[in-house]
A and B are shown apart, each in its own frame.
Chain A
Amino acid sequence: MLEKNKNLLDIKKLKVSFFTEEGEIRAVNNVNFSIPNGKIMAVVGESGCGKSVTAYSILRLIQKPGKIMDGEIIFHPADDKPLDILKLGEKSDELYKIRGGKISMIFQEPMTALSPVHTIGNQICEAILIHQDVTKIEARKNAADMLAKVGIPNAKNRLDHYPFEMSGGMRQRVVIAMAMVCHPQLLIADEPTTALDVTIQAQILKLMKDLQKDLNMSILLITHNLGVVAQVADEVAVMYLGRIVERSDVRTIMKNPRHPYTIGLLKSLPSLSMEKTELPSIKGSVPSLTDIPNGCPFHPRCPYYKPKVCDAGNPPDLNAVDDNHDVACFRTSQIQNEIAGKERCRL
């Protein structure tokens, strides 16, 4: 028996760059986090902060002009010994088995994962036949079962439909079914509900939560929506400019954030329970990755910024401030004192 690791995946010192006319763009810069077994781990941050690039790296889907520069992605499969995904050969069997098998991925826009000219039945069967040793008839039956499981009414008849005959929400269900047919241990979901209406988003989030519990898999949920994070995630990492600035369990992040960026993000959410007043906002905008500020990358926008402390040298490390709570800020303890007593966050 292999001893079961607490985490399914450990990402260590991941660095990914894009080489463009403007020079090297450090899209992911020294990212460390782990995805626990049987949990939903969310990576949240504003557009361009490196969420998708991080996710793509796990499946080695980074293409030119991008390059994984450094780091380890250690996968601990339930049924096999751990391996570093970044060390696998580009065309190796192991990588092939992981992609779409042990680890699968869904995207924001379901049509990117679906072919418009094939029936959904054929597409799901193909996914099954690549990774499983079953007959075509069995594959078709499995496909229908999976469609029913993801809540598609009349699943058997639906097999012969084309994606354009379905609504956006139904298509996303099909994509989830396709990702689930090989019983992945990790599902990577990149903004899976961003293109959906709010009532349909609720349905898809429930589906993902239910599947995660039933099959006891792990989910890496990538999103910019803090509400979605609060409602479904167990653990959260907050990204800014290619780095993780804060990481903890969902309750701590939402109720007791310690990084000024997380605090600012949560405050700037228009809330349903709030009076119509000036919305608190984070000043300025996210700088370009070609022009990352020295010291703490957040310092030009930070209300707690201190000259000479925050704006020089290397960026702050992600340090533990508590059990299972890491923050990358030079002034964590001073800030804690400064706002002690004051309402840190209106939640």
Chain B
Amino acid sequence: MNENIKNITSTPLLQVKGLCKYFPVFSKGFFKKQIGVVKASDNINFNLVTGETLGLVGESGSGKTTTGRAILRAITPTAGEVILNYKNELIDLTKISHKKLKQLRPFMQMIFQDPFSSLNPRMTVQDIIAEPLVIHKMAKGSVLEDRVIQIMKKVGLKPEHKSRYPHAFSGGQRQRIGIARALIMNPALIVCDEAVSALDVSVQAQVINLLSDLQQEFGLTYIFIAHDLSVVKHICDRVAVMYAGKIVELAKTNEIFENPLHPYTKALLSAIPSPDPDKPMNMNISGEVADPGNLPPGCAFAPRCEFCVQQCEQQIPKLKHLADDRYVACHRSWNVEDSP
């Protein structure tokens, strides 16, 4: 990452404090009664500095998308604060009016997993990329056209393809269109939600490299959501591991990979099938991915955890600050380190 950029501002670009998003659960049948809540995103805390990439990893249903969307207020959070440093003005995104939010939109963008379903099939690539600028009335005419061409070149699309429709592009190229569309707004913060997950490996590598290059060039800050840990390793400075709506571990990327402290992080890492046949994967992880709508009383990971003791079944562990930039939510996080 670019150290110069990071040190310019001492205030983080983003401060997420106690962010929650709960969804109501209704009974089946005709008279739908609310019978509970899914704590899809529960008491999320972290800071993000300009130019940094934070990975948000975890298995399906762990609340990654919900957290990403709640931060950008694409959905209204149930509780908590999201404080954005917008040109040295601190703004709580959860409290502002829709009008103000619309004004801030260009500043924060999202890139989605499925490049195909997120692009309108009846629009040309040029119109798709230009659309956000048109909606926000930020450019028109030849200025707009020039800007589209400039961005297309930047993300590795051929400007002469600008009149084509999305179906004429491959998966990787469509993801480039999605990136161009986000980038044209000159954003500072981009949430990439499984942005490379659907791509074939040879193309995935190209798009990961593109995202890194763009970050260097424009000082972008990313929240990079993925279920694939090996992808995260390549692009993130820090990683937050989520399980059942909560962050269970947050640390610098190399620490997560070299010395994971939370038993779930350990399990997740050991289950990745290595392309080296001499490095066998752990095939002995028991249990099922937690259902955030039906959680046990204590630690959500307890039913699957090999280090589980009685306390774990009774009490929800808090995210503890262990050391510099190192957080773990595990009753036994002091001990697991010594375990085999």
Contact = CB atoms under 8 A, between A and B. Distances in A.
A280 B205 contact: yes
B274 interface: yes
Nearest to B257: A272
Contacts of A8: none
Contacts of B171: 47
A197 B170 contact: no
A202 B282 contact: yes
Contact of A272 (B202, B212, B229): B229
A282 to B, nearest CB: 4
Given A205-B273, A278-B209, A199 B200 contact: no
Interface residues of A, number: 47
A265 B202 contact: yes
A199 B270 CA distance: 9
Nearest to B277: A230
A254 B173 CA distance: 28
Interface string B242-277: 000000000001000100000000011101111111
A268 B227 CA distance: 18
Contacts of B204: 268, 270
Contact of B203 (A169, A202, A251, A285): A285
B205 A272 contact: no
A224 B288 CA distance: 24
Contacts of B275: 226-227, 229-230, 254, 266, 269, 271, 347
Interface string A222-233: 001111111110
B206 interface: yes
B208 interface: yes
A270 B276 contact: no
Interface string A304-321: 000000000000000000
B106 interface: no
B193 to A, nearest CB: 17
Given A46-B201, A197-B227, A276 B233 contact: yes
A292 interface: no
A198 B274 contact: no
B138 interface: no
A230 B271 contact: no
A203 interface: yes
B208 A279 contact: yes
A226 B277 CA distance: 10
Contacts of A206: 283-284
B202 A282 contact: yes
A167 interface: yes
Given A230-B277, A231-B277, A202 B271 contact: yes
A281 interface: yes
Interface in B221-253: 227-231, 233-235, 253
A137 to B, nearest CB: 31
B316 interface: no
A200 interface: yes
A269 to B, nearest CB: 6
B236 to A, nearest CB: 8
A200 B288 contact: yes
Interface string A152-182: 0000000000000001011000000000000
B280 interface: yes
B207 to A, nearest CB: 9
Contact of B200 (A271, A272, A286): A286
A86 interface: no
Nearest to A195: B60
A250 B276 CA distance: 10
Interface string A200-224: 1111011001000000000000001
B205 A270 contact: yes
Contacts of A265: 201-202
Contact of B253 (A251, A276, A279): A276
Given A198-B271, A225-B273, A231-B281, A47 B289 contact: no
Contacts of A285: 170, 172-173, 202-203
B336 interface: no
B59 interface: yes
A274 B276 CA distance: 13
B285 interface: yes
A179 to B, nearest CB: 20
B188 to A, nearest CB: 22
A46 B200 contact: yes
A192 interface: no
A31 B171 CA distance: 26
Nearest to B198: A47
B234 A270 contact: yes
Q: Which 5 A-B pairs have CB atoms at the shortest separation, nearest pair first? A: A227-B273, A281-B205, A206-B283, A197-B59, A46-B200
16 contacts: A198-B228, A198-B268, A198-B271, A200-B289, A202-B273, A227-B275, A269-B201, A269-B205, A270-B208, A271-B233, A272-B229, A274-B233, A278-B209, A282-B202, A282-B205, A286-B200
Interface of B: 59-60, 170-173, 200-206, 208-209, 212, 227-231, 233-235, 253, 257, 267-269, 271-277, 280-286, 288-289, 291, 304
Given A198-B271, A227-B281, A272-B229, 19 more contacts: A46-B200, A197-B227, A198-B59, A199-B268, A199-B285, A201-B271, A205-B273, A224-B201, A230-B276, A265-B202, A268-B201, A270-B208, A272-B272, A274-B233, A276-B234, A276-B235, A280-B205, A281-B209, A286-B200
